[in-house]
Amino acid sequence: MRQAAAIGVALLVLLGGAAGGWLATGTWRREPQAAADAELAALRAAVVRLERQLAAIDLGQSRFAAPEAVREAAPATGRIAAESGGTRATVGGAGAGDDVMASLDPRRLLAEWVASFAGGGEGSEFFRMAVAAYAWSLRAELQAIVRDRAAVEALRLQAIAMFGGGSFRGDADTIDTLVALLHDGGFMAGELAALGVLANIGDGRTAELLETLALALAPAEVRTAAFDAIVRLAGGHAERILLRLLERARDAATQRELLARFSGADPEATLRAFELASRLGDREPRLVAAASIGGQRGAPFAALAEEWHGREPDDEVRERLAAALAEQSTVPSYHPLQATGAPDVATLTSDDPKSWAPATIDGGAEWLELVYAPPLRADRVTITQTCSPGAITEVLVEQGGQWRTVWSGAASPRECGPFAIDWSGGGAVSRVRVVLDTKLSPGWNEIDAVELSGADGRAYATAASASSWYGQGRRAGRTLLLEGLQLDLSRFLEGASDG
């Protein structure tokens, strides 16, 4: 049996074991059984397709051209051959006697993957999967492929995607490789892919690197993707970066995109951004800011909206400012500001609009950030969980401009009510960030209040922002469910009347 078939058998064994493990551990059991069976059938079909592809591959045929880094990394021997019976393999010369699996040298697999692009197209899916499994150990070679402007674009794109795994989070060499790709330009698909990966594996330093490049990136699609990556990486400090970019931006389209990303997580930076926008000569950025300011709360925002309304020459902008002034008099249901002040949800197990809730149910990663003005020396934070508790995975406090994790775990207690966390070293705390994984606790994971306490006494948050909130952007989550039920009912009634 040829080596390709032997590797295919090994792949089938591995995938079969993996599928059995998924089923045994119940990972798929959160979905209906029919969906799980369909997914398993699709996996088996994919394995069959790979097996047929492998049957057509002759690993002993001549090598195609590969990037220099891969040619240097590949073993010098000329071929991989399987002994008769397919149970043993020799690598290079006869007599090596290694097991079939021992022949799966990562760099040889990398060379085969690169060679599969010589005829054009998307390359070998089998070798892509094999290389992806060894991506961390092959990171230097993959980085070289990404940097190689002469390499096939499809190859470079697949290499970029391999950096998206958790093992690459914070890896300076990989981050620098992707940032260098952005700096070089001229590869839009690669730049968009790089920004998507950087948003997952980057850190605060990455956000700073992107700040230096963002305004020079082109076309606009790449530039706005850089803004999104900065927002994700910098968290509560993102708006300080956005403000600096806004101060340097000169074209209206860029100004509009930047203004649209201010959520109020940093009230001071957001207020300054809207002040700048109110005096821009182009109408479009002013429209964006006028529509957004209504979502901000506090006397400074109300004063700016009123003063701006008095001097604004454009009728449509004035209309938006008038609507903003009316909106600022109320706090929307489930808004992050519902988590400021003392607890006010009467029934902790209920779904109450006087608490903060994310935009979607069981959607995954979310965060709620609370501001305390003035800061106070504290060594305890008490989070009031309501409705469906148990989704909190990390709690951080900001002290002297630095974030510190004071608690992390698999999940917070699944009990409605106060969840208290103590720590030592009660320095002044200006912000608290609550990180959630809403998939851990089915239902609407809501927070009513977050209290700090310590040497300076007790205080509740005075301002708040969040990754999302029900009623903003993705607000259709619950509404669509109700509309769907109404639609189904109307169809049922129509059918009944026809009968």
Give the total residue count for the chain: 499
Contact 88, 119 (CB under 8 A): no
**Helix orientation angle between 33-55 and 3-25, rounded to the nearest 10 degrees:** 170
Contact 431, 397 (CB under 8 A): yes
Closest by alpha carbon to 146, among 190, 198, 210, 196? Answer: 190
Structure confidence at residue 39 as a pLDDT band (50, 70, 90) = low
**Fold identical between 146-327 and 336-470?**
no
Give the residue carrying structure tokens 């922002």: 465
Q: Give Dmax (Cα) for the chain.
A: 89
Contact 306, 294 (CB under 8 A): no
Between CA 348 and CA 401 the distance in angstroms is 34
Between 119 and 64, where is the model more confident?
119
On average, the pLDDT of the chain sits at 80
Contact 452, 372 (CB under 8 A): yes
Q: Please enumerate, as own/partner, the contacts of 325-329 that have beta carbons within 8 Å and a separation of 24 or more.
A: 325/294, 326/294, 327/294, 327/295, 328/293, 328/294, 328/296, 328/297, 328/301, 328/302
The pLDDT tens digits for 452-476 are 999 999 999 988 888 888 987 433 3
The H or E element spanning position 16 is helix 3-25
Q: Please enumerate, as own/partner, the contacts of 471-475 that have beta carbons within 8 Å and a separation of 24 or more.
A: 471/332, 471/333, 471/334, 471/335, 471/359, 472/295, 472/332, 472/335, 472/359, 473/359, 474/359, 474/360, 475/359
The pLDDT tens digits for 394-433 are 999 999 888 999 999 988 888 999 999 999 987 899 999 9
- Quick one: pLDDT at residue 437? 95
Alpha helices in 30-105 (DSSP H): 33-55, 68-73
Closest by alpha carbon to 286, among 311, 264, 310, 255? Answer: 255
> b or e along 268-285 (b: 16 or more beta carbons within 10 Å of the residue's beta carbon)?
ebbbbbbebbbebeeeeb
pLDDT at 159 over 60: yes
Mean pLDDT computed over 212-237:
93
- Quick one: pLDDT at residue 9? 38
Residue ranges of E strands in 9-122? 80-82, 88-91, 98-99
Closest by alpha carbon to 222, among 244, 253, 193? Answer: 193
> b or e along 419-455 (b: 16 or more beta carbons within 10 Å of the residue's beta carbon)?
bebebeebbbbbbbbbbbbbebbeebbbbbbbbbbbe
Q: How far is CA 37 from each of CA 192, 315, 362, rounded to the nearest angstrom?
A: 35, 59, 23
Top CATH class, 146-327: mainly alpha
Between CA 340 and CA 356 the distance in angstroms is 9
Contact 181, 191 (CB under 8 A): yes
Between CA 396 and CA 124 the distance in angstroms is 44
The pLDDT tens digits for 336-371 are 989 999 999 999 999 999 999 999 999 999 999 999
CA angle 231, 462, 261 (to 5 degrees): 20
pLDDT at 136 over 60: yes
pTM (predicted TM-score): 0.62
Domain ranges of the chain: 3-130, 146-327, 336-470
> What would be the CATH architecture of the domain defined by 336-470?
Sandwich (2.60)
The pLDDT tens digits for 66-107 are 454 444 444 433 333 332 233 323 333 333 334 433 457 899
DSSP characters for 307-367? HHHHH---HHHHHHHHHHHHHTTS--TT-GGGGSSS---SSTTS--TTSB--SSTT-SEEE
The pair of structure tokens assigned to 495 is 């059918």
Give the residue carrying structure tokens 């022949």: 103
Torsion of CA 220, 221, 225, 228, to 10 degrees: 70
Query: Judging by beta carbons within 10 Å of its beta carbon (0-12, 13-18, 19+), is residue 125 exposed, middle or buried?
Result: middle
The pLDDT tens digits for 15-32 are 444 444 433 333 333 344
Which residues contact residue 13 at a Cβ distance below 8 angstroms, ignoring those fewer than 6 apart?
none
**Rg of the chain on CA atoms, in Å:** 28
